[in-house]
Amino acid sequence: MARRPKFIPTASRLSKVLEELRRAPRPYLNNVTSLKLTMAFRNDHFGARHFVKEELPRIQYTNPAMQIDVVKKPKAKNELWKPEMVLQLRDGTTQTLDLEGKWSSAILEELMDIGGGSAWARWKRERLAAGLPVVEVPQAKKVEPKAAKWSGEQKKGKNAEPELVLDPTKTGAAAVLP
């Protein structure tokens, strides 16, 4: 009888990061030389914040020579200013994008429309012809409480979620702590 291997290789953290950086569509911005994003330091401009977290690493990975600046300014509750992105294009002109109230995927799509070139136009045409969204919206991961158990009966339907049954032996903080 052959021995079982002690180590079964799985996807490493680095391979998962590289997979995320290389996912389609590749944000190659051949018409943009620099990008400057200005947003609130805290508690506002959530679409711009998600764009910085989700899409900007992919843009930097795909366009290593591009100069990217992110300016996070403090903002008081009574101040009213909007987040913006200033693009320096290859022909020497600048273009400003208003990011107020936009999702990160909408910001990426607008940025790619300006600087993506023919590869982006082809990607967009193919996705629309197939009836798919041009840019996928990342799905939030659902975290289950440790003390809770899902019931065996599942509701049927497209958007139905299973019913959550709490452990009756635990109360208070113990019900949600491991």
Residue 55, pLDDT above cutoff 60:
yes
Look up the CATH architecture of domain 18-129. 3-Layer(aba) Sandwich (3.40)
CA-CA-CA-CA torsion for 138, 85, 99, 16, nearest 10 degrees? 10
Residue 66: CB atoms within 10 A of its CB come to: 15
Q: What is the pLDDT of residue 81?
A: 85
Task: Check if the beta carbon of residue 98 is closer than 8 Å to that of residue 84.
Answer: yes
Percentage of the chain beyond pLDDT 90 is 34
Radius of gyration of the chain (CA): 22
CA-CA-CA-CA torsion for 27, 33, 39, 42, nearest 10 degrees? 70
In terms of pLDDT, which residue wins out, 80 or 154? 80
Q: What is the pLDDT of residue 60?
A: 93
Distance, CA of 108 to CA of 125 (rounded, Å): 16
Q: What is the pLDDT of residue 74?
A: 87
Q: What is the pLDDT of residue 156?
A: 52
* Mean predicted confidence (pLDDT) in 138-166: 52
Taking the domains of the chain in order of start, what are their residue ranges? 18-129, 144-178
Task: Check if the beta carbon of residue 88 is closer than 8 Å to that of residue 94.
Answer: yes
